[in-house]
Amino acid sequence: MLKPIIRLVTCGSVDDGKSTLIGRLLVETDSVPSDTILAAQTVRRTGSNIKAGDIDFSLLTDGLEAEREQGITIDVAYRSMFLKNGRRLIIADAPGHEQYTRNMVVAASRSDIALILIDATRGIRTQTLRHLTICSLLKVTRIALVINKLDAVGFDEGIFNQLSSELKPSLDRLGITDFEFIPVSALAGDNVARSSENFPWYSGPTLLEYVQEWPAEATVANAPRLTVQMVNRADNFRGLSGTVFGGVIRQGDEVVVLPSRAKATVARLVTFDGDQPEAADQTATTLVLEPDVDATRGDVVELADRATIPADRFSANLVWLNESELIHSRSYFLIAGSKQVGAIVTSIRHVLNINNGDHESARTLQANEIGLVEIATDSPIALSPYAANRFNGNFILVDRLTMETVGAGMIEHSLRRSGNVSEQRYAIDQTARATQKGQVAKVIWFTGLSGSGKSTVANALEQKLFDLGIHSYVLDGDNLRLGLNKDLGFTEEDRAENVRRVSEVAHLMTDAGLVVLVALVSPFERDRKQAKALFAEGEFAEVWVKTPAEVCVERDPKGLYKKAAAGQLPNMTGVGQGYEAPTDADLVIDGTMDVAENVDRLLAEFF
């Protein structure tokens, strides 16, 4: 049975002719309404040299006004057409600009075929290789390497052969086996939907023929999964709603809910059309389980005899999409389907050189770089190797502060150490330890510029708490850098790791029932939010010691500002490196006020 839908993504550099090619294909297969064609005959881009009355095919796929004004594709434009064999083809026209790589990744992640354009007048460019590499990582099964604008070079066979030869090593290196080099002129229509006399030296398929001949994929019937989108509570049942991917789930199947690993049997499959005996691949359904096991949005339902083992450590290929570099040890949200967990990139194994395939060492990833990384999640999550299942093995990373998507990842495998380490629970817990001391465990996190008075206020507060019989401890940034954190510098990456370690120590000390006072510059808000996320509601209070920078410079208790002024401390907070003031601190105190007054405010607020 033929797959009813084929998804195709167009890739390549800016001005390689992607939009023109797709527009031409749509027109020549009668897939565009006549009024849309009429508009493309009358509307012109700024600087367009297309003759009056001729169709500007590129306008047929550009949906944003900004795209028409700039003559580029920004968003992914989706167009649909039916092929002669009855299949429906959905075309995703992806942007060519490097800054919009994220849009291209999204489009390619669901595509069966990639169409990568090369401008015959410009040759192979970096973005061509980047898109080819991404399509390989995303396991796009068929790739058409379309060499366009051959009309501009006299339909020269030599240029076609030269560009084909230049790309062949990259195809071999990436393990791409189903590909075809296709010569075309998108503007003139040569070899797009019909063979052209201008290519007497070419005997291969036209672009349309190559797409239509894509073999039907056999449905993966051995690993069905449903990611819970919502818990459906109807009058007569409670079910888990979502879409089945990767196979068929049938009434009577024994399933397991992950990550809890609770087992149950599928009692009913409820759809919009009523109860069904089974739910096929890519079918929306509601599973009614017996017994009615506990589950929530983001959980996964799989067949019990072939279920994924949840893990919290993974190796993954990561495409970095943000202008700010990847900071490992900084916590991000990992989102896979409807599941969201905190995650940290613990290691960057290498960055991929897209020009020659070399694996190069790196401490970070820059925008649009691709690297092999190791990721640790806050809790186990059921992710499969991407090569085995595209739906189960992909994820995105989201910045905790801005909620921007910063990375797109494909799981290579879970790490063995994930299954070798498990949490040990003891009879005496935090509540018991704190009750024994007659207090409530908590963290007071002091942040502010160097010289603002954080340590001074923390010291005075601890003395007062000691007099009151409250068991407390100060974690001071400088003291920790003499021991636990002596290996860390002051780059943004090292500061993130510094905050991570200190917050983990503070978490252990609150588990011991103590009141923990942290005096740490901690200049970046996302790192402070990461620290807060470790603690239960009400256990963590952020205090901003707000002291004017000029006062801090005047105090300069450690001589750091003098060194920074002399160029000896390039990463000095407030001088060479920015300080992100808290936007929602639990308390703001004035570092120029009397210390005793500030301590009284702290006692009144938190004790």
Pairing of strands 442-447, 540-546: parallel
The widest CA-to-CA distance across the chain, in whole angstroms, is 95
Report CA dihedral (563, 565, 569, 572) to the nearest 10 degrees.
110
Please, what's the b/e burial string for 54-79 (b: 16 or more CB within 10 A of its CB; e: otherwise)?
ebbbbbbbbbeeebbeeebbbbbbeb
User: Tokens representing 490?
Assistant: 């002051």
Q: Which distant-in-sequence residues (6+ apart) come within 8 Å of 85 by Cβ?
A: 2, 212
Report how far residue 406's alpha carbon sits from residue 322's, in angstroms, rounded to the nearest whole number.
5
Using only C-alpha atoms, the chain has a radius of gyration, in whole angstroms, of 29
| Ramachandran sector of residue 429 (left: φ over 0; alpha: ψ -120 to 50; beta: rest) | beta
Query: CA-based angle 541:545:549, to the nearest 5?
Result: 150
Chain-centroid distance of CA 144 in Å reads 27
Q: In what order do the strands lie in the sheet with 142-148?
A: 77-82, 88-93, 5-11, 113-119, 142-148, 179-183
Report how far residue 98's alpha carbon sits from residue 105's, in angstroms, rounded to the nearest whole number.
11
Query: CA-based angle 176:182:183, to the nearest 5?
Result: 145
Distances (CA, A) of 355 to 132, 169, 170, 293, 510: 11, 10, 8, 51, 50
Q: Is 106 exposed, middle or buried (0-12, 13-18, 19+ CB in 10 A)?
A: middle
How many other C-beta atoms can be found within 10 angstroms of the C-beta atom of residue 156?
Answer: 14
User: Tokens representing 1?
Assistant: 């049975």
Name the residues annotated as catalytic.
522
Query: CA-based angle 6:222:311, to the nearest 5?
Result: 100
Report CA dihedral (260, 266, 268, 271) to the nearest 10 degrees.
60
User: Tokens representing 573?
Assistant: 């907070």
Q: How many helices (H) and strands (E) does the chain have?
A: 16, 28
Report CA dihedral (384, 386, 391, 392) to the nearest 10 degrees.
10
Run of H or E including 549: helix 549-555
User: Tokens representing 13?
Assistant: 């550099």
DSSP 190: B
Of 322, 297, 283, 316, nearest to 394 by C-alpha is 316
CB 364 within 8 A of CB 327: yes
